[in-house]
Structure formats: C-alpha cells, structure tokens
Amino acid sequence: MAFVGLTFSASDTMGQCAFPTGISASPTSTTVTVSWTAAPNAAYYQVRYRIKTPTGSWMNGTSSTTSKTFTGLNDLTTYEYQVQTICNSPAGSSSYSPIQEFTTLAKCPTPSITAVWGITSTGANISWTATGAWYATRYRVSPSGSWVNGPIWCNEELFDVNS
C-alpha cells in the first residue's frame, strides 16, 4: 500500500518516541554543550559525538535535561553529533536526529609577563606580550594566598568589571 503525499516529521508522535528538535551546539576550545527542545514523553536523552574527518568512534553520554556538556575535545576540530530520545510511554527510543556539526575554537595562547615595576604595599604595574584581544587578570599577596580576580583588558583598554 502506498501513501502518496504523506509527510512525517519529528513532531509526528502518533504513539512513537520522537527525537528532539531545536538541536544546537555551543563549543569552546575543549568543550561543547549540546542543547535541544524537549521531546514529548522523554525519560532521558542519549547524545553522541565523533570527530568528522577521519571519522572517529562515537562517544556517548546521557542527560535527563535538555543539554549535555562534553569535555576533553581537541581545539580547531570538526565534530559530528546527534541526539536520541528514550521514552517512558510509549516505551522505546527514537531514531537519532540527523547528523549536525560543530567546530571547536582555537586555544588562546598564554601571554608572558615582560616587566613588573612600581611595586608598593598596595599595588604593582605589569606588562605582558600581546597574544590575544582580551585578558583577564588575577593576583595574590603570596604563593599561599587566595587568588583575587583583577580587571579585564581589551587591546590595552581597561574594563571595570565592578560597574
């Protein structure tokens, strides 16, 4: 029997377990958070990713929410990912969502301190090699002291993080 002109999509549940929609990825240099819109009747989700070229093995994870974060990724690498719904009622699982891609970002190089001057009991001046556009600073009084977050700099312009 043929069904002419009939189209099905992920939202056509009709007693089926559907994969989620609105799937997206937010990568950094070494992590990615995959997010999606909840699917009807979902108990939890299986999320998987792999290196695109050369094709790697799938790495799997589960989530009972609508996102999953993976760590330990390589920078400047393209990955493929998919999400599958595991349902309570009806019991079963959806197919995996269509394959999507993300590329991790470049790691920022660590700047080197080039000079320290004007040291007083309440402050000091430092300069460093310019390896990026944004710099977050922190300081501590002694090697055993607690770190204190300092100002954020962008291309030699100071941004007041407290305002």
Dump pLDDT digits (tens) for 65-82. Answer: 999 999 999 999 999 999
Is the pLDDT at 160 greater than 50, yes or no? no
The pTM is what?
Answer: 0.64
Name, in order, each residue with C-beta under 8 angstroms of 30's C-beta and a sequence gap of 6 or more.
71, 72, 73, 74, 75, 104, 107
Q: Provide the pLDDT for residue 6.
A: 38
Phi-psi region of 26 (alpha: psi -120 to 50; beta: other; left: phi over 0): beta
Collapse the DSSP code of 80 into the 3-class scheme (helix H, G, I; strand E, B; otherwise coil) and give the result.
Answer: strand
Who wins on pLDDT, 14 or 79?
A: 79
Q: All domains of the chain, ordered by start, with CATH?
A: 21-103 (2.60.40.10), 113-159 (no CATH)
- Give Cβ neighbours of residue 44 (< 8 Å, ≥ 6 apart): 62, 63, 64, 86
